[in-house]
Amino acid sequence: MGNSTIKKNVLISVPNLSKTGGVSSYWNSILPELNNFTDIKIQRIEVGGNRKNVFGLINDQLRFKKKLNQNIDLVVLNPSLGFRSFFRDAFLARSLVKSKISFLVFFHGWNLDFEKSIDKNYKRFFLNSFGKANTIIVLSRDFEDKLNSWGFKGRVIVETTTLDSSLINDFSIQNKIEKINLSNKIKILFLARLEKEKGIFETINAFKEISSIHNNMELTIAGDGMVFNEVKKCVINENNISIIGYVEGQTKVDILKDNHIYCLPSYSEGLPITVLEAMAFGMPILTTKVGGLKEFIEEGKMGFFVNVKNIKDLEEKFKFFINNKNKIIEMGQYNHSYAKQNLLNIVVAKRIKKYFDKIIS
């Protein structure tokens, strides 16, 4: 893929890739593709996971500085905009500034409350650490605007999360369309951590209301979290609502194949991978105009937005799909095609490699 005989060394800071999480999922998908390029050598260093262990944090810093002595051409930091991750990786960034090594920052998570703390107290600290990056990647235009308001002068790129292409190896959009046409049911999927802020109770209440009139609906709730038991009690007498807990692997694939509409009316979000997965499996998206979703979802093509905490909005959208099964198919086809062209790890890795090349050159 590359023409140069001299490999450039790229060091990427990652969490424990054997554990679940958005950042782990992203790099587990992207790293194998980046390793296929012949003109770069990817190294990785695990940071974080120390919780309150101060010595672990110090060890991260020392191991990181040691790596910088190995002729590194570019470093990629992967923080979230939250208290612990922000300060841990900010000190890594300051080491890079001191060593005069080019670096790129990819903010995967973005805590709006901590954003306010930076506004009030840490703006200068930001500019003297992450602000020295050549490029910062974020998942929302709102986050780009905030970086600019803090005085960041480098390049800001709004990116997406990604999907492992192997996930849809055995999936056929035509088979799904045929099954939707043959089915008498409209199958709705909620797949996320079970937390109030994900809009799970709005989903349940809207579904109960509309299914009392239209009995050809099913709701599947997949996930685990803080309100799992509360959700379980809420749906205990509902024959057309299934709660199946945390899913992964083939079980998750089967659920994505089987359901027709994906529902995630979150109070706040970045760009969750479950939305991308649902799109790849030919599902319209019902969600809220928050975070990275706000610019990413093409309303009317990919699905619809509902207002945060608005049960009536959800009811109306459920009713729309009940009366317009052709729209489930039309949006599902569009989403599947979009995902294949823009979101698979093979495609995203090529974009990431171009960002690396631009900085290194």
SS3 219: strand
Angle at 89 between CA 144 and CA 150, to 5 degrees: 30
Per-residue pLDDT of the chain (361 residues; tens, 9 = 90+): 444 468 999 999 999 898 877 888 899 999 999 999 999 999 999 998 665 566 777 888 999 999 998 899 999 999 999 998 999 999 999 999 999 999 999 999 888 899 999 999 999 999 999 999 999 999 989 999 999 999 999 999 999 999 999 999 999 999 999 999 999 999 999 999 999 999 999 999 999 999 999 989 999 999 999 999 999 999 998 999 999 999 989 999 999 999 999 999 999 888 889 999 999 999 999 999 998 899 899 999 999 999 999 999 999 999 999 999 999 999 999 999 999 999 999 999 999 999 999 999 8
Task: Give pLDDT, residue 318.
Answer: 97
Angle at 23 between CA 19 and CA 28, to 5 degrees: 70
Between CA 60 and CA 54 the distance in angstroms is 10
Task: Give pLDDT, residue 57.
Answer: 79
Whether 129 contacts 96, CB under 8 Å: no
**Domains identified in the chain and CATH numbers:** 8-162+344-360 (3.40.50.2000), 166-342 (3.40.50.2000)
Task: Give pLDDT, residue 269.
Answer: 84
Calculate helix-pair angle for 325-342, 273-280, nearest 10 degrees.
Answer: 110
Of 326, 300, 319, 337, nearest in space to 177 by CA: 326
Task: Give pLDDT, residue 291.
Answer: 84
This prediction's pTM? 0.85
Task: Give pLDDT, residue 4.
Answer: 46
Task: Give pLDDT, residue 69.
Answer: 83
SS3 134: coil
Q: Which two tokens stand for residue 144?
A: 């780009």
Q: Which are the contacts of 129, defined by CB distance < 8 A and separation ≥ 6?
A: 90, 91, 93, 94, 97
